[in-house]
Structure 1
Amino acid sequence: MNDASHPSNLGRILVVDAQRNTRAITVNLLRAKGHTVLEAVSGEAALATLAKSEVDLMLTRLQMRPMDGLTLLKCALEVAPHLQVFVMTASGSIESAIESMRLGAFDYVTLPFKDGEMLHRVERALERTRLQAAAEALAQELSEPPGPSALVGRSPAMRELTSLVQRVARSDATVLVQGESGTGKELVARAVHAHSPRKNKPFVLANCASVSEAQLELELFGQPRGARTGAARARKGLFKEADGGTLFLDEVTETAPALQSRLLRTLQDGEVRRVGESAAQRVDVRIIAATHRDIEQEVREKRFRQDLFYCLNVVPLRVPPLRERLEDIPVLAEHFLQRANARGPRPKRLSNAAVERLMGYGFPGNVRELENLVRRAAALAEGEELQPEDFLLPPLPSRRGPSKRPSKTRRRTRSSAPGNMR
């Protein structure tokens, strides 16, 4: 809600104070820092200003007549629900200031205030305004079809990824999406599909880690009725379901060698053969594959076919982990908190200390872990402002690198990860 002509650390501030001297001191202090400052001598005048002007922050004295600061606070939040408000009160009226925070004020300061304290609190309130505006923009993006704009983040790494998605979406090239668990690989795949010429055709997901090898083969290729004992009905297969559209092979490195061979033949020939059937059927499918593993290491250790890797890796896309885009954490946390507030009995807000703690954490679980941490904190925190201790962060080193799996460990464990952040 900040005026576009202002730097990001400045804002439009309304100062409400019936006492001319203290109002002038506050206004001059804020203007000296570059803020645009509006003035009002009463609660009624403040409401008239809010009705016609955009304001990021309102500072109001509690002790005023005929409309006092608490009444103004309630009325102002009805006019501008996202307005940040903090109150100024005499040192003997702290209880009223605390009551104002219960009613929705962001903070309070006692009079006479210290210049440094006032400016610090103003900056905190404006930062809250910026976070809320960014979170609302993010919510709007996520409510739209999952194009490149739905890839969350303003960091250089995410801007580069968004640009690559927009370029590759126009072609029919096979895409390999790599990234740690929880970074949003499925969202990237959906974004490529949504901005491709195939956007009105099916987007079909095959989770290669969720079922056994035999079951995955049936899901991918289908089978005719009676092809084997117990096959009472025909199965179309995901390749045929995706005909004309996109097939997303999630966790493709979890496939067994025999199935990898069959996938390679299908991708090379553009034909599928149902299980137990010799006749082939043509399919027109764009393939997007994804893995959280180091697929080149898998190739070197003979767990993934080199020729299939080359076939899939026409256009590689890497989704950066959260620790490589720390500047995206505040807006993501604010967005997840707003979603939690929509479902909870009492709205919560993030403290600056909580944001700093989140930005100092390594997030091995990436965006999915951040969302779960925010949801848990919002559900369990006693206060209305979430503090660092509400997030129950495990004692992991800050910003650590990805852990490496022992090279000789053979894994075939299949599990289906919850959520849609792959």
Structure 2
Amino acid sequence: MTKIRRLNSADAGFAEDFTALIDRAGGREAEVAPRVAEIIAAVRAEGDVALLRHTRELDGLDAAAAADLEIPREALEEALMAIPGRQRDALKAAAARLIDYAECQKTDSWEFEDGDGNTLGQTVRPLARVGVYAPGGKAAYPSTVLMNAIPAKVAGVDEIVMVSPTPGGERNDLVLAAAALAGVDRVFTIGGAQAVAALAYGTETVPGVDKIVGPGNAYVAAAKRQVFGQVGIDMIAGPSEVLIIADGTGDPEWAALDLFAQAEHDEDARAILVSPDGDYLDAVAAAVDRLIDAQPRAAIIRAALAKQGALIKVRDIDEATDLSNRIAPEHLELAVAQPKVLLDAIRHAGAVFLGHHSPEAFGDYCAGPNHVLPTGRTARFSSPLGVYDFQKRLSLIHATPGGAARLASIAAELARGEGLEAHAQSAEARAAGGARDS
């Protein structure tokens, strides 16, 4: 029998058990932080020399010069043509859907005129240069390349620079093909904290960027946290997670497979199913036992379900949505007969999948919305990656001579209240007249 905890909200001690379940430890990030700081400092001080040294020591890639770490654009196109036709078609289909969705996220500039004739507004500008971190080598995540690069491209970012480790020189054609489709401008075969440092501070060869996006291991996460402020980052991603709210009307085997799909990421992935139907929970548990041996990653799935999985019996669907908001899951499946009825009760989630025919796997690859989502309860205050993450908003203030008098009286009063006399005089000078514009 597959080990997966069973909880019941009616039991004594449930509150403590549930809190323990959703409490995420910090992982290895704190453990590796000192070493990461050393790597960042070395790359910042020595540039390409440190980058080459760490790439040789950590990735087993011995390059004579930093320029040798860059993959020519034509090699990306060659990789796109080298992969099997069905994979190429699937990548193209997924990219097209992501572009369509991203186009709807674009924000326009706007202006309005107040009652005193002043023009106020907002101008939207894309970031100049963005860095995308993509796991490489034996780990093939072309979907991650598409999800991180396409919104940047749609936003109008001038240049997209991708870093992807190639341990021992092993390149992944799927990753490179995705880079070609997503419009990545430059690709470097570097990874780990040294790649993040190179993107943040720039070296003689790798250009510095304005923002770094994309997932990685504990070293990458720690490096992103440490360079934040020098550059922007998307988020600090933790282990992936899914919460399924089920009313018992769905197929238990579908639910089991959805739990597997999350748990197979790694041993720290979290897969939870909540339902008021005890018989349905029993049926899902039986389906898990029946289907798990056929899974190629069965050992990982078993470890994840034992460590972070749960089947939770609740009193009713309202209690299920309350627990969901406490978890603030990265992925939330509403596996119920009328999912839109529940949507108003959902306050915190990265992505919501409505109904029995909307598995989380669609969101991972091709539905359209981005699969870069807040984890570890950060959906309480953050959102999925999107076009807006690659745009800046500039506030506009254009005061007319007549409007300046009204603004000056307000500003001067508040400035003197704060003890800032020069502010008050600067404002009042505009009300007194002098140079004119329109």
Q: Report the TM-score, using the length of structure 1 for normalisation.
A: 0.20
Q: What is the TM-score when the length of structure 2 is the normalising length?
A: 0.20
More helix by share: 2
Return the index of the structure with the highest Cα Rg.
1
